[in-house]
Chain A
C-alpha cells in the first residue's frame, strides 16, 4: 500500500492549521520541493522530517527512477498502483509507456524486439486503432530523424523519458506527486497576472517578488522627444528596422527617408519613384528594403549602400502593400489590380494569387500564414506552404490595415468607422475590439507595441495617437501633437519605450517617456546635443 503523505508518520508540533488561508500541507510540500530544486537538499530533508510531510512517497520516487532509467517492466508494474486523477484511464498511460519502449527499440535499430513489443504489448490497446496503425507504420522509417519527426518524439533518450514522465505526472493525483517546479510556476503566474494588470507596462527589468509590480506613467512614451522633418508632403507610412536603430518613412512626396535613431538625423533619401510611396518593408536582416508606390512599381533597395537593386513592373495599378518571408529571400507585393505576387530577391515572379483587390497584407512571424484585407470588406487567411486560402472572414466594413502579432496567432485590423479588431487567426474568432480613434475616409494604420506587444496603438483622423491596453481594451492615452490626420503609428521592436507617428503635417514624431526628454533638454542647455533633430518641448 502506498503511504499517504497527507497523514504524516511522525506527528510533530503543528504551528498553525492554515497559512493565511492556504492549506499548510500544500504549502509545506511546495517548500520542500522548492528547497530541493534550489539545491538545499539537506534542508529539504530536515523540513520533511520536522513537518512529517514528504514531497513524494517512496513508491512515487521509485516510479520516477524506473522511468528515467528505462526499467519498463518495473514501470508497468508500479503505474497500476499509483493514485490517478479521477477519470484517467490507466491503460492509456500503460500504452504511452509501451510506445516509449517501442520507439527506443526502433531508434536502437532493434526492429525484431520492437515488433515483439508491438505485437504482444501495444496491440492489446484496442481503443484507438489509428494510433496503433501509425506506430506500426514507423517501422518503415529509415533514419532516426525521420522517426522522431513522424512520431513527434524527442531523439535524446533522457529528454524523451522526461517528457514521458511529465505527461504521466499530469495524470497522477497531485497529492501523491506534485507537478515539477510547482512553486516557480505559481510565482510566474502571479507575476504574469501583475504584468497583465499593469496599465503602463513598459519594462520587466524592475520585477521583484518582494513587491507587487506596477510601472508608472513616467516610463511610458507620452511625449514627443524628436520631430523628424524632411518630407515636403504627407507622410503615409513609417517602419522601424528590425534592429530598432533606424526608421524609414514613406511620403506622398514620392520619397522614402531613412533616419538614424542614435542621432535622430537623416541618413539617406530613396528618391526614384515618380509618384507617392504608399508602403515600405525592411527585409528581416535590414539589409534590403522594398518601396511600393502609386506609380505601379515596387523597388528593391540594397540598404548597405542605398543602391537600387531592381524595379518590379508587375502590377497594373498602384501597389498597396508588401511583406517579407522570414527567410529574407522571398517577399510578396499586393495591389488593387487585383493581384498578390510572390517574388524572390532577383525579381523573379514565383506565384500569383488573383482573388481580390488588396489594401494591405501581413505575413506571420513564423512564415506560415499570410493575412490580407480586400476592397470587398473581407479578411483572407492563406497557408503559405500550400498557397491555399484557408479562411475568409466577412467584416462588412471598410478595412484599412492589417498587422500580425509576434506569436503569429493574432491579426490586428482597422475597421472604418472608428474600430480596431483583434482576430485570432487560428480559431478564426474575434478576440477584442478597440474603439475611440477616428477614421472615416483615409488609410489609418495601427500596430502592436510594448515589451510583450501588450499595447495597441493607432493613428486617427482627429490628429491624435491612440494607445490601448491590448488585454483589456482600455484606452490608455490619446496624444495630441500632430496637425491633421495621423496616418500611421509604428512601435520600435527593440526599444519598448519608443514609438513613431507619421502625419499629414509632413512630420514624423518620435514618442518617448518624459524622463528621456528631461535628459535631452539638459544636454541641450549645455549646448551638447543641438544636432539632435528638432526638439519641441
Chain B
C-alpha cells in the first residue's frame, strides 16, 4: 500500500464522515437527494474521496438489478454508502460510477 494521506476538500459545503469528520465530498457533486439506503434517506454524488471500496456484489433494488460495491471511510473504516458499478434497467444506468452516501452516516460542514 504505502503511506497515503487523506484528501482535504476546499469548498464552502463539505459532507464528512459522521464518525471521524473526514472529508468525503462537495455539495457541488450532489446529484440527487431522492434515494433510500439501509438507514433511511440517501444522497447520490458524482464523486467522493477518502473511501475504501469493497468487492462487487449483485443487489436487487426497488429499481432493478444492480452491481455495487460497499464504500467505507478510509480513515475510520465506518460504512458510509455504496458505489454503482452497473445497472440493468437502461433508465438507471446514469447511476453507473456514482456514489450513494447515507444521510444518517454523514454530516454537512458549512463554512
Do A and B truly interact? yes
Report which A residues bind B (CB closer than 8 A). 234, 236, 252, 276, 278, 318, 320, 336, 357, 359, 375-376, 441-444, 461, 484-485, 487, 504
Q: List 10 A-B contacts (CB under 8 A).
A: A252-B3, A320-B5, A336-B5, A336-B6, A375-B8, A376-B10, A442-B1, A444-B2, A485-B2, A487-B2
* A375 / chain B contacts, CB cutoff of 8 Å: 5, 7-8
A252 to B4, CA, bound (A): 11
* A320 / chain B contacts, CB cutoff of 8 Å: 5
* A359 / chain B contacts, CB cutoff of 8 Å: 5
* A278 / chain B contacts, CB cutoff of 8 Å: 3
Q: Are A441 and B4 in contact (CB under 8 A)?
A: yes
* B3 / chain A contacts, CB cutoff of 8 Å: 234, 236, 252, 276, 278, 442-443, 487
The chain B residue sitting closest to A356, CB to CB, is B8
* B8 / chain A contacts, CB cutoff of 8 Å: 336, 357, 375
Q: Are A234 and B1 in contact (CB under 8 A)?
A: yes
The chain A residue sitting closest to B4, CB to CB, is A442
A-B contacts, CB under 8 A, total: 38
A487 to B8, CA, bound (A): 22
* A276 / chain B contacts, CB cutoff of 8 Å: 3
Interface of B, secondary structure class, is: loop
Other than the known A443-B4, A504-B2, what 16 A-B pairs have Cβ atoms closer than 8 Å? Answer: A234-B2, A234-B3, A236-B3, A318-B5, A336-B5, A336-B8, A359-B5, A375-B5, A375-B8, A442-B1, A442-B3, A442-B4, A484-B2, A485-B1, A485-B2, A487-B3
Query: Chain B nearest CB: distance from A497 CB in Å?
Result: 28
* B1 / chain A contacts, CB cutoff of 8 Å: 234, 442, 485, 504
Categorize the interface residue count of chain B.
under 10
* A236 / chain B contacts, CB cutoff of 8 Å: 2-3
A210 to B88, CA, bound (A): 79
Q: Are B10 and A461 in contact (CB under 8 A)?
A: no
A236 to B3, CA, bound (A): 6
* A443 / chain B contacts, CB cutoff of 8 Å: 2-5
* A376 / chain B contacts, CB cutoff of 8 Å: 10
Query: Chain A nearest CB: distance from B17 CB in Å?
Result: 13
The chain B residue sitting closest to A461, CB to CB, is B2
Most buried by A among B5, B6, B7: B5
Query: Chain A nearest CB: distance from B9 CB in Å?
Result: 10
* B10 / chain A contacts, CB cutoff of 8 Å: 376
B 1-37 binary contact with A (CB < 8 Å = 1; else 0): 1111111101000000000000000000000000000
A234 to B8, CA, bound (A): 24
Most buried by B among A234, A278, A375, A461: A375
* A252 / chain B contacts, CB cutoff of 8 Å: 3
The chain B residue sitting closest to A504, CB to CB, is B2
A252 to B3, CA, bound (A): 8
A444 to B2, CA, bound (A): 8
Q: Are A441 and B6 in contact (CB under 8 A)?
A: no
A461 to B5, CA, bound (A): 16
A441 to B7, CA, bound (A): 11
Query: Chain A nearest CB: distance from B11 CB in Å?
Result: 13
The chain A residue sitting closest to B9, CB to CB, is A375
A320 to B8, CA, bound (A): 14
The chain B residue sitting closest to A320, CB to CB, is B5
* B6 / chain A contacts, CB cutoff of 8 Å: 336
**CB under 8 Å from chain A, chain B span 71-98:** none
The chain B residue sitting closest to A485, CB to CB, is B2
* A336 / chain B contacts, CB cutoff of 8 Å: 5-6, 8
